Chains A and B, each alone.
Chain A
Amino acid sequence: MTVRITVGLDGTETGERALSFARDLASRIEACELIVAYVIEWSPFTFQTAEENDKRHKRREEEIQIATSRVVSPAVKALTDAGFNAKGVVQHGDVAETLNRITTEHGASQIIVGRVSNDGFTKRIFGSSTQNLVMHADVPVTVVG
């Protein structure tokens, strides 16, 4: 049976460390698929101008395209080149919630993420995405420092 593992990337160095940890883990499992996920932070409850709204669809496509070409595709390519089974997913939403959803939807059994620290004020009030993920995920989460 294939074991699936979600790796959450954020385009930073800690994301890279999460990826190499996942690689290491996958190499020890016989049949393993890595789900390389990138979540574009987005909330449906923000206030927008009419002009922003009418260009939103276009922006969304651009955001997905950039995340795919800059972060996800290179990571997936590097993994497949190295003989791993990998696929990429890019989605908008709340980072913790969406990573968890991607994981359950793909039937993955654990999540690996980097330790991200959004600084100061926001973190104090809302906690970081990683903290939220660890608290609310339906599967075990590994946080790579």
Chain B
Amino acid sequence: MTMKTLKTLTAATLASLVAPAAYAEGIDAKVNEAFAAATGPFVSFIFAPLPGTTSFPWIVLWLVVAASVFTVYFGAVQFRFFSHAIRLVKGDYSDPNDAGEVSHFQALTTALSGTVGLGNIAGVAVAVGIGGPGATFWMILAGLLGMASKFTECTLGVKYRNEYEDGTVSGGPMYYISKGFRELGLPGGKALAVLFSIFCILGAFGGGNMFQANQAHAQITGIVGDYPGWITGVIFAGIVFAVIVGGIKSIANVTEKIVPLMGILYVGAALIILIVNYDKIGWAFGQIFAGAFTGLGVAGGMVGALIQGFKRAAFSNEAGVGSAAIAHSAVKTKEPITEGFVSLLEPLIDTVVICTMTALVIVISQQLMIDEATGQYMLNEAGSAIATIDGNTGVALTSAAFGSSISWFPYVLAIAVILFAFSTMISWSYYGLKAWTYLFGEGKLPELVFKLLFCVFIVIGAAASLGPVIDFSDAAIFAMAVVNIFALYFLMKLVRKELNSYATRLESGEIKSFAH
């Protein structure tokens, strides 16, 4: 099958080289047009403004209110149990007799490799590019609050997963919604679970796939020059196909090993840039705080900064979306809540640390143009975003920011982006598949249909332009959050029961540390 795939790939690439450029461009334009038309109504519904306002999407409020409610309801669990979470990841509470099962560390890093990616590199650039440095402040706040959402959903994910006779597991919101509602005697659990699964599949096709393919293509053209997006799409689709259909595990394994290194390298490079520009760090934070409350001239002012910050934080760390609950549910633990504690580190690492690094580098490298006279940011011609030195947006803006201090870093970043995109796609193909099998049952044929569709969307994503892709990706992922959070409000009392019981046993010494 692999050889066949390779041959098809080669043929496609060769065909593209001989095809007239205009014809190739035509395919991209058609894909783009059809895609924007097909997704428009869905996108408008999800991002509809709150009544009485013109620009505040209700969905942003939905996420922030939920994260705040969970933070209060669980008594700031993300701060109270922070050090306990670290000890769990270190394995201090893991029974050595259970060695060989999925560890807390492995579940955390698997979930992280699904979230750390383009959201941290391109998404932050979009947020800061439109909402100004102030967006960073709101992003960090959303990250800190989001830790409580993540805690809630991942605890439930482990508690209500399905364990099959052959030893494999399936978990996630669709399982905890249907089982949890039944346990509480509430109606409609199954319907909500089905709705969630539908949105999860769309999310897998959108943010987990098309957005990744799109930005990977942008990154490659930035280096080798412009060429039609569908070619990148076909190549990516071929590799993903080889992994998820052909079962070529080695590709996935190699990526899983390189991606964490790339993440460390990325944060390391950001730190170096910050150290070199240490004299500007104070100024950058000043911009972030001032921008958070005044907007410093960005489109939409303070509210614009807030919306961008919250939106991109949610898109990056996926707290409240429910995807992480699918990834975390594989952990073998007697205490489902321990996985909740571990998962709350995710938004911290993803948003509070990595996203903030990106934002600081963009601000410090002064890619965003400031009007010297007023100290306010200058808008681009359309008035929709802040003008940048080279007119860059998205991942190109981050690349330029890093490149201004470390000239060769854009090349490393390009490789990182491609790898991140690839690993996020593999993760989301799994999330989407779990939702798909929940709807259509486990079995070879339904799984193959999903995997093939997944590959088709990679090509569409790479060919479409950023605007419609980012809108659809956001809309699909936030639609998951609509259903998931609605259900979490009903299910959170189950989590509190677990939390109280665990906290009491931890205090009494019944839950012992195995660390020496």
Listed in ascending order, the chain A residues whose CB lies under 8 Å from chain B are: 40, 42, 44-51, 53-58, 60-61, 63-64, 91-93, 98, 101
Give 25 CB contacts A-B under 8 Å: A40-B100, A44-B91, A44-B99, A44-B103, A45-B106, A46-B106, A47-B106, A47-B109, A47-B110, A48-B110, A50-B430, A50-B431, A53-B102, A53-B107, A53-B330, A54-B169, A54-B329, A56-B100, A57-B169, A58-B167, A91-B96, A91-B100, A93-B96, A98-B99, A101-B96
Cβ of A47 and Cβ of B103 under 8 Å apart? no
Identity of the chain A residue whose Cβ is nearest the Cβ of B100 in the assembled complex? A92
- Report how far A51 CA is from B447 CA in the complex, Å: 13
A55 CB contacts on chain B under 8 angstroms: 167-168
B259 CB contacts on chain A under 8 angstroms: 47
* Closest chain A CB from B106 CB (angstroms): 5
- Report how far A49 CA is from B252 CA in the complex, Å: 7
Cβ of B91 and Cβ of A53 under 8 Å apart? no
- Report how far A57 CA is from B330 CA in the complex, Å: 9
- Given A47-B256, A58-B167: A42 in contact with B100 (beta carbons within 8 A): yes
> Which one of A45, A51, A64 contacts B105 once the chains associate, using CB atoms below 8 Å?
A45
Identity of the chain B residue whose Cβ is nearest the Cβ of A90 in the assembled complex? B100
Count of residues in B whose CB is under 8 Å from the partner chain: 38
Let me know if B332 is at the binding interface, CB within 8 A: yes
- Report how far A106 CA is from B417 CA in the complex, Å: 51
Cβ of B97 and Cβ of A56 under 8 Å apart? no
Let me know if B444 is at the binding interface, CB within 8 A: no
Cβ of B256 and Cβ of A48 under 8 Å apart? yes
Let me know if B257 is at the binding interface, CB within 8 A: yes
- Report how far A58 CA is from B166 CA in the complex, Å: 7
A54 CB contacts on chain B under 8 angstroms: 168-170, 329-330
Interface members, chain B 164-218 (any A CB < 8 Å): 166-170
Cβ of A60 and Cβ of B110 under 8 Å apart? no
A45 CB contacts on chain B under 8 angstroms: 103, 105-106
Let me know if B427 is at the binding interface, CB within 8 A: yes
Q: Which of B106, B166, B169, B332 has the most CB of A within 10 A?
A: B106
Let me know if B364 is at the binding interface, CB within 8 A: no
Cβ of A57 and Cβ of B101 under 8 Å apart? yes
Cβ of A49 and Cβ of B256 under 8 Å apart? yes
Cβ of B257 and Cβ of A56 under 8 Å apart? no
- Report how far A58 CA is from B107 CA in the complex, Å: 16
Q: A50-B330, A50-B430, A93-B96 are in contact. List 19 more A-B contacts (CB 8 A).
A: A40-B100, A42-B99, A47-B110, A48-B102, A48-B106, A49-B430, A50-B110, A50-B327, A50-B431, A53-B327, A54-B330, A56-B100, A57-B102, A57-B167, A57-B168, A58-B168, A60-B101, A92-B100, A98-B99
Identity of the chain B residue whose Cβ is nearest the Cβ of A47 in the assembled complex? B256
Identity of the chain A residue whose Cβ is nearest the Cβ of B243 in the assembled complex? A49
B109 CB contacts on chain A under 8 angstroms: 47-48
